[in-house]
Amino acid sequence: MHLLLPTTATLPLFDVAASRRIEARALTHSPDLMARAGLAVAKLSLALRRGDGPVWIACGPGNNGGDGRVAAQRLTEAGVPVHVGHNAPRRPSLVIDALLGLGLNRTPSTEMQLIFAAMAACGAPVLSVDLPSGLLADTGLPAGGHAVRADHTLALLTLKPGLLTGEGRAHCGHLWFDDLGIAPDEAPSAELLGTTRRPARGATSHKGSHGQVLVVGGAPGMQGAARLAARAALACGAGRVYLDLLNLPADQAADPGRPELMRGTLAALPRAVGVLGCGGGAAVAAALPDLLRQLSRAVIDADALNAIATDAGLQQALRARPDSATVLTPHPLEAARLLGCETASLQADRLAAARELARRFACTVVLKGAGSVIASPSERTAVCGSGGPALATAGSGDVLAGWLGGLWAQQPGASAHAIACAGVDAHGRAGEVDGVLRAGDLIERLAAAR
């Protein structure tokens, strides 16, 4: 058993159907899985208890409740007072939520919701077994809007995608994992992103060795977004970074605060990696047909995505680009516009939405937000476990787009999917601070990380 995040290793994720299959096969040679699960829950409980009060164990009707009952036995044997039931004891030292796990199949009943509320109100830390009760394992959506908010969750046997994206991160608290000694015997449904090292710089390399990035965007009043993307590409190590600020007279500096940045245009830089749309405004729409046709690698963000969402010709131009030549980086609202659906229905199944976008536009897609999802037409979907609410501030997405451009400029042979995975994880890790991280400071943290 170990605390899952941060992880440097890429780890397999299994949806409910796959977890069920793995469990069924494992039970044929290891019939004591529930004993192992209950023991793991009891061990973690001993470490998490606060004070001498009883451990309140709320057990449900299925095997999740079975895990809770085994944990009750183990804790009793260890001399720990336990209270098994649906009402809170006086001053519990810990709550074990063993009500609902993988078998959740409907909105928790009113009675169940009252137990969730009692857990939240009793003042003790909450440890959820396998999943916070009410959380849908495949999507991270609370069923009917109701799920336990745990302080800790101990995932058992497999890691499920819903623990890591959607509302999962908010409901799981600290995420622990115990594989119960079982090695999964089928291909994962998705994967949790690990860490990729930045490209090494050869001792004799020069600026021409590290590629070019062209950032196209910057509507009046929004030039900061394009400049943040350009600064991020520069900090990432791109050899030369240019800005095509669509509404700025050509004789003005690209970025007075960063004299390293240059003005440039597609005509002069046809081999650059394009970072399109940051602070783009309406002007970017007119530039997109040429950009989509000519750039061999492009990261498309913000107003460029909004333009594509409303223009069938641009959508066709996007689909016509070569394989693995494009990364789209929509936040949920931009993604909903691209799919022509409501943000809430998109957020209800983020993996499915990202996969559908990747299929529809034949691109790599980074669906941003807590637990960013990276999907590509022929790659395993990845979920990002790094990052946090410090990133929830204007400009952090522009930094991501620029960073991806900078990475790709230095690794022209890398696939769009590999670039997206490496960049999203690095961006998330750099964003793991208490409080708020201004986008400019995020660039500095990204640059300082190895």
Ligand X SMILES: NC(=O)C1=CN([C@@H]2O[C@H](COP(=O)(O)OP(=O)(O)OC[C@H]3O[C@@H](n4cnc5c(N)ncnc54)[C@H](OP(=O)(O)O)[C@@H]3O)[C@@H](O)[C@H]2O)[C@@H](O)CC1
Ligand Y SMILES: Nc1ncnc2c1ncn2[C@@H]1O[C@H](COP(=O)(O)OP(=O)(O)O)[C@@H](O)[C@H]1O
The binding site consists of 225, 281, 331, 368-372, 397-398
Rounded CA separation 179/429 (Å): 25
CB atoms under 10 Å from CB of 95, counted, come to 28
Q: Are strands 382-383 and 373-375 parallel, antiparallel or unpaired?
A: antiparallel
Residue 270 β-bridge partners:
none
Residue 84 sits in the site that holds ligand Y (CB under 6 A): no
Return the residue of 109, 205, 209, 345 that touches ligand X, per CB under 6 A: 109
Show the tokens assigned to 24.
């069924």
* Binding residue ranges for AMP: 368-372, 397
Return the residue of 34, 170, 433, 447 that touches ligand X, per CB under 6 A: 34
Give the residue carrying structure tokens 């796959």: 18
Residue 396 sits in the site that holds ligand Y (CB under 6 A): yes
Give Dmax over CA atoms of the chain in angstroms: 79
SS3 state at 137 = coil
Name the minimum Å distance from CB 368 to ligand Y. Answer: 4
Residue 166 sits in the site that holds ligand Y (CB under 6 A): no
Return the residue of 11, 12, 62, 433 that touches ligand X, per CB under 6 A: 62
Q: What is the DSSP string of 278-324?
A: TT-TTHHHHHHHHHHHH-SEEEE-HHHHHHHHT-HHHHHHHHTSPTT
> Given the complex with ligand X, which of 29 and 106 has the nearer CB atom?
106
| Cβ-Cβ contacts under 8 Å for 31 (sequence gap 6 or more) | none
Q: What is the DSSP string of 313-374?
A: HHHHHHHTSPTT-EEE---HHHHHHHHTS-HHHHHTTHHHHHHHHHHHHTSEEEE-SSS-EE
With CB under 5 to 8 Å by kind, the binding choice for 218 among ligand Y, ligand X, none is none
Binding mask 121-160 toward ligand X (x if CB under 6 A, else -) reads: --------xx-------------------------xx---
Residue 397 sits in the site that holds ligand Y (CB under 6 A): yes
* Binding residue ranges for (6S)-NADPHX: 225, 281, 331, 398
Show the tokens assigned to 315.
């959508």
* 398 CA to centre of own chain: 17
With CB under 5 to 8 Å by kind, the binding choice for 113 among ligand Y, ligand X, none is none
> Given the complex with ligand Y, which of 281 and 387 has the nearer CB atom?
387
> Given the complex with ligand X, which of 162 and 423 has the nearer CB atom?
162
DSSP state of 135: B
Residue 64 sits in the site that holds ligand X (CB under 6 A): yes
Distances (CA, A) of 114 to 86, 117, 135, 146: 9, 5, 16, 10
Give the footprint of ligand X on residues 351-370 (CB under 6 A). none
CB under 6 A: which stretch of 42-50, 198-206, 257-265, 384-392 binds ligand Y?
A: 384-392
Residue 274 sits in the site that holds ligand X (CB under 6 A): no
Residue 33 sits in the site that holds ligand X (CB under 6 A): yes
> Given the complex with ligand X, which of 33 and 295 has the nearer CB atom?
33
Residues contributing to the site for ligand Y (CB under 6 A) = 302, 331, 368-370, 372, 387-389, 391-392, 394-398, 400, 427
Which residues contribute to the site for ligand X (CB under 6 A)? 23, 27, 33-34, 37, 60-65, 67, 100-109, 112, 129-130, 156-157
